[in-house]
Each structure stands twice: as structure tokens, then as C-alpha cells.
Amino acid sequence: MVMVAEATPNYCKSVPKLDAPMYRVFTTTPATITDSESANAKSTDSIKSNPSSAPFSPDVLPVLDAAGFRLVPMEPVEIALHLTEDHNEVNDLAKDLDSNYTNDLEELRRKRLQRLNMPLIYRMYESQSEEIRGTIRGPDDADFHPEEASKALRNALAAGIQSDDKTIINVLLAHNNFQRQKIVDTYANMYSRKLLDDIEAETGGYFLEITTALLQPAHIYSARLLYYAISSRSYNRSIAVEIGLTCTASQLKVIRDAYLAEYKISLERDLNMKVEGVFGKMLQQLLLRAKDPEPNVDMGQVEKLLDRLKSSDNGVEEIGRNSDLFNQIFISQSLSQIRALVDRFDALAVTPDVESKPKDFESLVRKSSNLHSDVRHMILLYLKISQNVQLYFAEKLHEAVSGNRADHVAIIRILVMRSEIDLYDICQEYKRKYGRHLSLDLKTTCSGDFLRLLIQLLHPIDTPEDF
């Protein structure tokens, strides 16, 4: 594999470009191996007991994926390694070919800790786990030059109708949300102009919509999404539930503060006026919660919750009618606890009679005619997100690009909000389920500079030259 280092603009020292992405392979922990993977995983127990950090190229990904390994994109290095059956040899080769690997990891951890020291309002998109990966990271502080970035943007926008959209894309996607806010402020100080106003004057359509979303502070963008979710004529309240399920309690507090500042009314009061009934109470419990439950799974508590469900003639329908029970089953439990509860419920519901009606939790929710539609959708979102949040967003993106009419608003919302959290993993789930990369489907529904920005958002390092 040949690596060619390209000249990079002054506003951001980016990593060298590779002909193909490289990966590091880590073993999957037993808790994350599914039943379907266990057969393949057993044959690799000896390798799993001695994890390899060797780099691999994409041609061996199917082999590793089938063996139950977790693949993590590595920092570009000059290296080529052939897959070998001897894992000791892999370890030796990795050490010889990438002697700086340990130092690189320490540097990445240092940068991540540095980013976690930022104010919470600028860490809304920050991944809280090293297990999941976004596509946008931004340069380290020493390599961040907002003046140079502002100058590049001003030169690109000064050309009027011939504005250099490629430079706009490169600058925005070379920085994370926190850094973009500094660029917005620096641009205003340098030119006495508002960057968003200049972009709006020279661009339009969905390209303008996504650049506007990228330049908004994350907490304000989330607050605006919440407002439209409960206030617009479409009443897409599933977005409000999605935000509540994918944000921590401390992040929701920041969003509520931004909501009050933006609309001069508290989120709680707005929900009371606009979302009525038992669903309104459930949505308030989710969005106004003061703390998050413990993430660890307590099987004793799972059994107690199951007993509580069994105490009712129809436990699933009772959840939909009783907000206190909903709080006990869902709001007060972590996503991992909910996943364990549902898995246990489904295991006990298995019957040898193939002709009997499905009794798994999801089927009962879907087929219950007595559940309010908003409550049903909320419970189903809990089930999907607790099982696999990245797969959930992959499926939402597939709905957005494959419908009779593409949902560009949903595409923008998901890609922007997940870009620094887990967008890379969402793309992997998309490819695993639908057999192709998301970028290929985007080409059929999007075009022009809007498509170029989306593609580069998905591939920030190895953007195709023909775009």
C-alpha cells in the first residue's frame, strides 16, 4: 500500500491521504458477541485471548468480521501487512512495522481528554465512548487556526455567484462543532460580517440548510429540533423521543436552557400546552429527567420488572395507559437494562407451538390496538435504540433515501447530529444490513454541492476525487 502525503491548508493540518482506509483489529468482548456470532467466535478463542493490534487493509475485513472481531479505523501510517494464521506473528509484525502505535494511542487519548474539558454546551456531539466512532474530529488545539479558516471562507464567499463551495465544504468539515463556533466569532471580528449571512447570500437549497446546521451550536440546533417536533403541523414527535433517548440528562439540561433562551418559554411549559394526555406525561418524564440511571445490568431488577409486567392481564397495554409504570419500566432504567429486560421477556415467551401468535415484546407492542399511536412509537423507539442505536439510525437513513420522495431534512439531521459521535459506525451498520455504503444511495437522491458535502461528511479523509 502506498501512502502519499498531500499539502494541507494552513487552517488545519490534516492527516495524509491513503489509497484505502486501514484498520486496527480488536477482539469483541464476550458481552457483545451475539448468538449468531458465537459459532464463529468459538473457533478463534485462542486468538481472542491474545488480542492483536495489527493493522489490516480492507481486503481481509470479511474474514475478521466473520470471526467476531471489532474493527477500528487506525491513524494513517506507512504499513502493509499480510494476514497470517499465526497471531503471534501478527503481533511481532505489528510491533516491527508500527513501533509508534502505543505513543499514537496515548496521543489520541490525550486529545480526547482535552476535548472533554470543553464546556458541555460544545460537547453535545462528542462521543462519550472510545468504542464508537464519528467521522469528524477536528484538529488539535496547536493545529487549529480560526483566522486562517476565516480568511479561506471569506475568499471563497467574496466571489459572489462564483463562490468556491469546495473550500466552504473543506473548512467546515475539517473542524468540529466547537471549533466552528470559534471560526464564526473570528470571522465576525475580522470582517464585521456574519458568516451565516454571507453563506446564505451566496448559496441556497439543501446545501444552505446543511451548512447552517453545521454552523449552529449543537445545543441550540437540538433545541430547535425539539421545538419543531412538538410545534410544527407535521408533529414529528418521534424526533423529540429520539433526542431524549440519545442524550444524557446533563445534555438535556443544556438543551432545555437553550430552549428557554431561544423561545422565551420553558420546555416543560411548552410540552404542557402542546402535548397532551398520557404520551405528554411520558415525553416530559423522558426530556425533563434530572439524572441518568446506572448503566450496569441488574438481573435481579430485571426479574422484578418482569413480575410487575406479569401482574397485569396485559402488561404491554398497561404500560401504555399508566405513566407511572412506563417510568418504572423505561425512564428509570438504562438502555442496557431495557435490552436485558426485553431479551428475558422474549426468552420466556418462546413456545414450541409454531402456529401460536408471536408473543415477543415488540410484536405485542406493534399489534396492540389499544395503545395510542404516539405511545406505541415511543415504546418501539425504546426497543430499537436500546438494542442497537447505530442500527436504528442506519435504518432511518435508509428510509430517508429509499422512499418515493427523499427526506433530505432527516438526512441532514442525522448526519450532522451523529457526525462526531458514531456516524462511522452507522455507515458500517448500513453497509452490513443493506449490502452497500450509504454514499452510493445518497448519489441516487442528492446532487451538486449538497451531495459533495454529504460524501465528504461520510469520508472526511478519503473523499473521492471525482466529487
| Segment 348-378, tens digit of pLDDT | 876 655 555 667 899 999 988 889 999 999 9
| Segment 80-91, tens digit of pLDDT | 333 333 444 444
3 phi/psi in degrees, rounded to 5:
-115, 130
Task: For residues 343 and 387, give the distance between their C-alpha atoms in angstroms, rounded to a whole number.
Answer: 9
Mean pLDDT computed over 229-253: 90
Rg (CA), the chain: 24
Non-local CB neighbours of 436 within 8 Å, separated by 6+ positions: none
> Would you state the pLDDT for residue 27?
38
**Do residues 375 and 278 make contact, with C-beta atoms less than 8 angstroms apart?**
yes
| Segment 412-425, tens digit of pLDDT | 999 999 999 999 99
Non-local CB neighbours of 331 within 8 Å, separated by 6+ positions: 282, 285, 286, 289
> Would you state the pLDDT for residue 105?
54
> Would you state the pLDDT for residue 292?
92
Residue 67, exposed/middle/buried by CB under 10 A (0-12, 13-18, 19+)? middle
Q: pTM score, two decimals?
A: 0.73
Cell of 206: 439543501
Which sign does the torsion angle of CA 250, 255, 261, 265 carry?
negative
In the three-class reduction of DSSP (H, G, I as helix; E, B as strand; rest coil), residue 297 is classed as coil
Mean pLDDT computed over 228-252: 90
Least confident range of 40-49, 203-212, 288-297, 404-413: 40-49
> Would you state the pLDDT for residue 465?
36
Least confident range of 177-186, 234-243, 381-390, 441-450: 234-243
Comparing 67 with 169, the larger pLDDT belongs to 169
On average, the pLDDT of the chain sits at: 78
